[in-house]
Structure 1
Amino acid sequence: MARLVNGILGGFSGKVGTVVGVIIDENCFIRGLPRKRTKFTANELENQKKLATVQAYLDPLIDLLKVGFNNYYTKTGGFRAAVSYFRKNALVSDDAGHYIDPALAKISGGDLLQAINPSMVSPEPGKLLINWDTTDVNSQDEADQLMVLLYDVKNSATQTKIFNGAFRRDGSLSIAVKPRIRNKELDVYIGFVAADRSSQSDSQYLGKIIV
């Protein structure tokens, strides 16, 4: 809907049919609507495929990435920063096509201390135990909280912990894996977020596991 300026004989601002009214310094201009492109170059089509691959991988992780990439990698941080990071660093292209290399992927980035000597094991069906060393943890870092991603990439199914993980001082976290991702191959990532939520660590990829 357009807005009339200076009455019915004046100009207008907004869209009317196939034209758009624009007001610049009290001058009124009318422009045709831009035509939607239907033809793209080979490079443009290839870039569209790359972006689609990244977007499909990251869409299930939006809430986690908003925290993990807060004020990181780009000026705005958040999900857009994650998309930019993955396109430049985690996207692999070869004869098989485009895909995300899990070892190059991140769920968070920043200057906070990473987990020391992290490991994971499934002590029983449906359970995942993540451990890390707390020997040299300073008092200023002990309240950092663990973020976790369990990602069944094949089925785009996830389980996350963002603000409900263990503290750095705990040295371990036991997770009851949701039924929908049990007996599936999971990529596992961890990272820490500061107690005051002001910063994050670079995440760490723990590898693949079936729980």
Structure 2
Amino acid sequence: MARVANTLLNGIQGTMGDMIFYQVNGVTYTRRRPNKRTNAQKKRMKKSPLNERSQGMFSMVQKYLKTLRSAIAFGYQEHTVGASLPYHACVSYTRKNCFAFDGRDYRIDPALIKVSRGSLMPPEGAKAEKVGEGILFTWRNNSWISSARPSDQAFIVIHDTENTTMDWVDLGNFREQGEHLFKLRSYYLNSSWHVYMAFSQKNYISKKRTLSDSVYLGVV
């Protein structure tokens, strides 16, 4: 992947020779077109146990993260590099770090998932519990430790255990407040959720948010 600097080629899309031109956020990039494999090569690749597991893991990650995609766009915003988008960074991290293995069997472990990653100080002593109106998140106020500030805002994601829906809040209560009530719709009150929490901080230079790594708080 390379960014196109030649102004004559800006805006071009499609194939030219052995190069593929494409656009991301209005910027033109290029990559080399992969060589065509023979039928024999394709057959050998399909039979490879390592290749089968790699493809299986990739498909599993894509399916699992599909529900979380909108939250990932916020949580991985620091990882936008060129044509690599936040979702791509999350897919890569999940493939490498979020699987539990049992012999030849493998599965994604929700406790290892990161819905955000970044350099900000994460929550300390965070807990989540069901209450009448929803889920109450509490944490210790660690403002002014390292990069933490009182005005950092909670980023909360809840993901149902059946992987069919999720809900989230991007700019919740401040770090100094020590708690946030995540109100649930009435038809969600009896559901079980994997819950995650992080903090974000406004970056006045980039006009974006600096995120912390998310913390998994279990199933509620």
**TM-score, normalisation: structure 1:** 0.73
Structure 2 counterpart of 1:52: 59
1:99 matched to 2:110? The reply is no
Cα deviation, 1:75-127, whole Å, max 9, x if unaligned, reads: 74511010010100002232583321122111111120111211112222x41
- Gapped runs of 5+ residues in structure 2? 1-12, 20-34
Task: State whether residues 64 and 163 of structure 2, in contact with CA within 8 Å, keep that contact through their aligned partners in structure 1.
Answer: no
The runs of 5 or more residues in structure 1 that have no matched partner are 1-13, 25-32
Describe the SS at the equivalent of 2:113: coil
1:131 to 126, 129, 138: 138
Counterpart CA distance in 2 for 1:206 and 1:55 is 23
* Residue aligning to 1:122: 130
Q: Flag as ranges the 4+ runs of structure 1 deviating above 6 A.
A: 35-38
Q: Is the 8 A contact 1:65 1:78 kept in 2?
A: yes
> Is contact 2:116–2:213 with CA below 8 Å preserved after alignment?
yes
Cα displacement (A) at 1:36: 9.2
| Aligned equivalent of 1:188 | 195
- Give yes or no for contact 2:71–2:115 (8 Å, CA) kept in 1: yes
Corresponding letter in the other structure for 1:207: G
Q: Which residue is 1:88 aligned to?
A: 96
Q: Which amino acid aligns with 2:120?
A: L
CA distance in 2, matches of 1:144, 1:78: 21
Of 52-61 and 33-42, the range deviating more from structure 2: 33-42
What is the alpha-carbon distance in structure 2 between the residues aligned to residue 91 and residue 172 of structure 1? Answer: 31
Is 1:121–1:128's contact at 8 Å kept on the other side of the alignment? yes
d(CA) in 2 for partners of 1:202 and 1:41? 38
Counterpart residue number, 1:148: 156
The match for 2:182 is 175
Task: Note the alpha carbon deviations across 1:40-67, whole angstroms, 9 max, x for none.
Answer: 1332222111111111111111121122
Corresponding residue for 1:70?
Answer: 77
Distance in 1, matches of 2:71 and 2:89, equals: 13
Do 2:78 and 2:211's aligned partners in 1 also have CA atoms closer than 8 Å?
Answer: no
Contact 1:157 1:181 in 2 (8 A): no
8 Å CA contact 2:134–2:189 kept in 1: the answer is no
Partner AA of 1:200 in structure 2: L
Percent identity reads 25
| SS, match of residue 210 in structure 2 | coil
Distance, in Å, in 1 between the alignment partners of 2:192 and 2:18 is 57
Number of residue pairs aligned between Structure 1 and Structure 2: 181
Q: Which has the higher helix share?
A: 2
Q: 1:119 corresponds to which letter in structure 2?
A: K
Compared CA separation, residues 189 and 36, structure 1 to 2 (3 A): farther
Q: Rate the CA distance shift 1:159–1:95 in 2: closer, same or farther, 3 A.
A: same
The structure that has the greater radius of gyration is: 1
Q: How far has the Cα of 1:184 moved from its partner?
A: 2.1
1:29 corresponds to: none
Determine if the alignment matches structure 1 residue 109 to structure 2 residue 117: yes
**Contact 1:57–1:156 (8 Å) recurs in 2:** no
